[in-house]
Structure 1
Amino acid sequence: MNSNSAVVEENVDEGSSQKPPSTSSVTSPTQPGIYNPNLSDRENYQIFLEAYKEEIAKEKERLIQEDLYYYQTTLQRLASYKGLNYFLKAGELELTNQAELSKEEYTSYPAYMLFEGFIQNVYPQEIKENPRFYQIAPDAYVQDYPDVLYIGFEDEFLKPRIAEWQEDKEVANHALYQIAAYLAGLMASFIYLLIVWGRNSRHDQEVHLNTLDRLYNDFNILFCLGLISSWFILGFNFYQMQNAALIYPMTLAIATLGLILVLSLVKHIKNKTLLKHTLVYTIFHKLFSGIKAIYDSGSLGVKVAVLVIGYPLCIAITFFMFPITIGVAIWLSFKKVKEFKAIKEGVRRVKDGDLATMINIKGKGEFAQLAGDINSITDGLNKAVENEIKSERLKTELITNVSHDIRTPLTSIITYVDLLKTEEDPEKIKDYVEVLEQKSQRLKVLTDDLFEAAKASSGDIPVTFERIDIVSLLTQGLGEVDEKIQERGLDFKFNYPRERMWVKADGRLLWRAIENLLSNIFKYALAGSRVYIDLEDAGPGIRLTIKNISAYELNISSTELMERFKRGDESRSSQGSGLGLSIVTSLIEIQKGSFTIEVDGDLFKAMIFLYKDDSKETPLSPQ
């Protein structure tokens, strides 16, 4: 609050200093003998006016005199102010101490308040910050407020009050700083006590408990609440008995005792025994620990006996809170029934063939163990069914795909052998022999792929880990297949961050895996397209990425494409066996790496991850 807004507050306070004359009330019109229930309200009212005519006249006179008293007192108080000018108009009534002043002249004062209806013109605006300003300003809920009210404050009125306000402000600020300093010191001291309390030195990590700390914490909290209640009760009584001086020593005594009790709780918080060192916890912990020890160590029959005998004993011991004990028993009963129903429903679903059902029961009880065993059986059964289904599917695919791939060249061989038996033209015989050679080679490749896939998936391949320079391996390998690259018109782009990148792998198996990927590219890549081979650091390993555009539409997911006998060419008109990617997966995994593929439209991406070899040993030449 500033000095200008103090003007409003003073006027309101001083306006309440005078007392009006004592008041009296007119006798109620419902006195016995006056009110006649057989007459109307208007008739009863006229009877009342006649009966109490003199009393009503006296009451009117008293009210008039009371209003005149307030009016004269207010005029005298306004006249006592020097430098305060005002103009008030309410209907025909006008009241002012400066009749010659206009509205514009009021605005020339250092401070003024002009009200015309609900229009306010106040200067300075800080006056509105005083909460008592709105006791003077027009209010929509006050019907008899004057139409016009001008108030102007001259320097003669403002200066002494501003000086007084500034003095009070300095005193208040000084007191506020003192209180803030006291509170800061008190808070710093309290925080210091919280830190060091219970320890003998700054480096002492052990919490030392004394005799007072043996008091149970729940009793300690009750004593603290009792001290707070006592302070309020005693303080109110001392104030009522006009013995306010006793409040200070009483506050000091209660605060000291309360601080000691609170610091005892702080010790237990540091010692992590706030809950454990309570009487309620101690009783229940010992009771349930004993029951649990017997319950856990016995068979199911012993557990039932413990429950049958222990529950009545528990009720007898805790008779003072038997509603809680009964409530806990009801809750446990419903919990066990719910667990039993969950197991029953889960077994029914498994029986009906829903092997994905899992019975979720928390805890370590008998029902939880039973549910866990059932879940294990269900999980094992589910895996067995999945493996059997997968095995049957693979068998079917093996019979279908391999028989197709074998039958095609075998049929050609039989056909051309029959032709050779009757053919006498040497040129045709030569052509037939070339076809027989091609088909025989095709059978050999298919047979080799089958054996290699079987060996790779079984892990029955010896692995010799070496320090391999994968950049050199790829450069050398691409040189060996350059003729096939030229035949397909492919443009290989090989990108690597540095000349030498070492991996820990078997050079022979790694090249067989890469060779399988290159073979897939030669079979399925779009002729004349680009093939990108990228090497990059991938944290603890190196990632090899091979990307190409497929000549066939890849209407198959990457997961299916990784399975055996799956081919991107669903018509199976190409020379592939559908085993290449499966072989690559097995070969990379036995080298502790990983192999993944991605299909995005016609873009095929194969990624091999192998761990780095940062050792300084002399590397072996890649095979």
Structure 2
Amino acid sequence: DQFYYNEMAIRYLYSNRFNLIWLTIGSFLLVTALLIFLIVCSGRRSDSKEIRTRWFDRIPYDIVLAAAILVGIGLAIIAYEPLNYLSYSYSHNYYVSYELIVISLAFVVGLLLMTAFLMTTVVRIKTRSLLKNTLIYKLILRPLRKLGSKLLFLIKNLPYIWKAVLVLLGWFFLEFIGVLATSYSPGTQLFLWFISRLIVATIILLIAAGMTVIRRGGKELAAGKLDHKVETKYLAGDLKRHAEDLNNISHGMSIAVDDMMRSERFKTELITNVSHDIKTPLTSIINYADLLKREETDNEKIKEYVEIIDRHSNRLKKLTEDLVEASKASTGNIQTEMMPCEAGVLLSQVTGEYEERLSGCDLQLVSDKPDYPVYIMADGRLLWRVIDNLLNNACKYGQPGTRVYVSLAVRQQRALITIRNISRFQLNVSSEELMERFVRGDSSRSTEGSGLGLSIARSLSELQGAEFKLEIDGDLFKAIVAFPLLPNQEGFQFAQNSEATEENVNRSETTAESIDTTSDVITEPV
């Protein structure tokens, strides 16, 4: 009977209990090893290391998942009746064997489907297409993602005022919902009000702190500290991006300044080296030209050729010396001996030496200076060269038959040395461009000159701490050199000379107005 069969089964299982335990452990280990092998080899081929997908792997994953769930439910339904029958049936072994076959087939089919589902899941994970290859992603998530990216792009490109309006509207909406939801609970309303105000205060303080950091960094950059970096660690959003932009500007400006300084240094070194290389053969040419001039000859052509060689070689020598001096002046390689100087005396000495030369160029010198001494801190040798360059420039480019005005005035605690003349050529360049090297007012370059005089004058003035400025009004050329005054030098008293200073300023302004308004007087033949 049934009790006998049960007893025999129990005795059989009990006698083989240890074998069954080891068999179970071995089967589990084998299944685990095979499962790991399948996971590792999923999507791989023997001829390639790349992950390849099959047609089954390209079916949307949510369809595969739904099909697997439906098949699993169907197999469970198929196996339910045989299992139920085996649990309560004690009939003949034929029926028992039939039920076992159905259950075994359902189990095998389910196991194969689970293996296929696992392998396709692993392949999709390896190819990073698990979520993208689904109907939900393609029909819902992808459009929402595109819409969200467009909205985010729109919000990013909105002006700050509209961003603030949107944030405030969203905040007001949330507060309105909170008030409606807690209308019957005053305690909850008070708690939410406190939390909301705490959040708002925190955000405002963070924005204020970020703006302070950015403003401090902007001030440092404006002061010329290009190596300063704005700290972005505690900044977020547009504040962080603004700080990064400032840092990028600082980095770009540093690179540009370094490149400009390197280029200027290379240019200066090139000019210096070439000038020194030219001086040696040029000295020989000048010496031999001088020897040829001393030789007695009746051939007028030879005399003319020697004169041309001598004139142009001396001109080239002057250009070479100007190049070297311009190079030294621009790089600050000239030693300065600053000491108190009486500007009026120095100006009188220079104009006295140039008066005859200006007369030879059909130019009349008009000098104007105050009756009291004007003391400045300058290097007399360099200041002499500055005025010498400006007057030499007037001799070369001044319109014959006009006047050259040289004046010294005191204005706003500064001594202003001004030289004005009418240009012989049309000035089609700006004052800044005219102070560059090799730039001349004579665009045809038909006259003598190297285009270095004004550049040297500016560099020498800046070496002495003075300000050098040019003003061009039509054909009127004006050069101004401004030195700070030295108070209480050699009996110079500001209180005593204040009226004289004002009178001198008014006289200078009147002279300038007369130059501007009565150009016919300036250009009047002398």
Q: TM-score per shorter chain, which class? A: 0.3 to 0.5
Greater share of residues in helix: 2
Q: TM-score normalised to the size of structure 1? A: 0.38
Query: Relative contact order: is structure 1 or structure 2 higher (C-alpha 8 Å, sep ≥ 6)?
Result: 2
